Chains A and B, each alone.
Chain A
Amino acid sequence: KAGVTQTPRYLIKTRGQQVTLSCSPISGHRSVSWYQQTPGQGLQFLFEYFSETQRNKGNFPGRFSGRQFSNSRSEMNVSTLELGDSALYLCASSFNRGGFADTQYFGPGTRLTVL
């Protein structure tokens, strides 16, 4: 079974631009979560989508948004990029059988650099 895939793997943008990152979950997984990883703040939860609905959101500004499609693929968007948005963005998928925490499988991440 193929793992979680994320595209692109690397991205360089300038301040003020916007960016869209893509995540394809493991086949059959319905939940997709996004995390930001930085040396200073570590791994922080951004949001989670399940059946095309955002179920949970972390403490990030509204510039960070996402969506999920009917095939469970997910995208996240960051508008008006700031230098501090430079990070590794990780996507994780889980089957989410309902009612309890399920194993989250992470993709390799998208390395975003904002200049």
Chain B
Amino acid sequence: QQQVKQSPQSLIVQKGGISIINCAYENTAFDYFPWYQQFPGKGPALLIAIRPDVSEKKEGRFTISFNKSAKQFSLHIMDSQPGDSATYFCAASRDTGFQKLVFGTGTRLLVSP
């Protein structure tokens, strides 16, 4: 019930292309869904987050699409750049005072020049 499944495990996209990473969750009590970006040697950094009251959220080139009935959410990176090459993690938590994130397994993105 606590699991978040993420796919694909790795992704290669050409510069200027669209990168799409998908996540699915089981626990319907989850109501906060952030995406984190991690570069080698660094800690994860929040990219964008969504709550289930909206189906889409866009910040610059990054968009989260959320499907509550399917219990799925995805990250779209438009106009992907080599600097976007990193590992991306989806996560989920309950919208309570407790700060406990359940993470997906990660997607290693490589944007080729």
- What residues of chain A have their CB less than 8 Å away from a CB belonging to chain B? 4, 31, 33, 35, 42-45, 48, 50, 55-56, 58, 90, 92, 94, 96, 98-109
Contact = CB atoms under 8 A, between A and B. Distances in A.
A4 B91 CA distance: 20
B48 to A, nearest CB: 11
A33 B43 CA distance: 13
Given A42-B105, A42-B106, A101-B94, A106 B44 contact: yes
The CB with the most chain A CB atoms within 10 A, among B36, B43, B96, B99, is that of: B99
B99 A102 contact: yes
Given A45-B102, A101-B32, A106-B45, A96 B89 contact: no
Nearest to B91: A43
A14 B36 CA distance: 32
Given A43-B89, A100-B32, A105 B46 contact: yes
Interface in B11-56: 31-32, 34, 36, 41-46, 49
Interface residues of B, number: 27
Contacts of A98: 97
A7 to B, nearest CB: 14
Interface in B86-109: 89, 91, 93-106
Contacts of A56: 98-100
B23 to A, nearest CB: 13
Contacts of B102: 45
A106 B43 contact: yes
A96 B45 contact: no
A103 B46 contact: yes
Contacts of A106: 36, 43-45
Contact of A33 (B36, B96, B99): B99
Contacts of A96: 97, 99
24 contacts: A31-B99, A42-B104, A42-B106, A43-B91, A43-B101, A45-B101, A50-B99, A58-B100, A92-B43, A92-B99, A96-B97, A96-B99, A98-B97, A99-B97, A100-B97, A101-B31, A101-B32, A101-B99, A104-B99, A105-B45, A106-B36, A106-B43, A106-B45, A108-B41
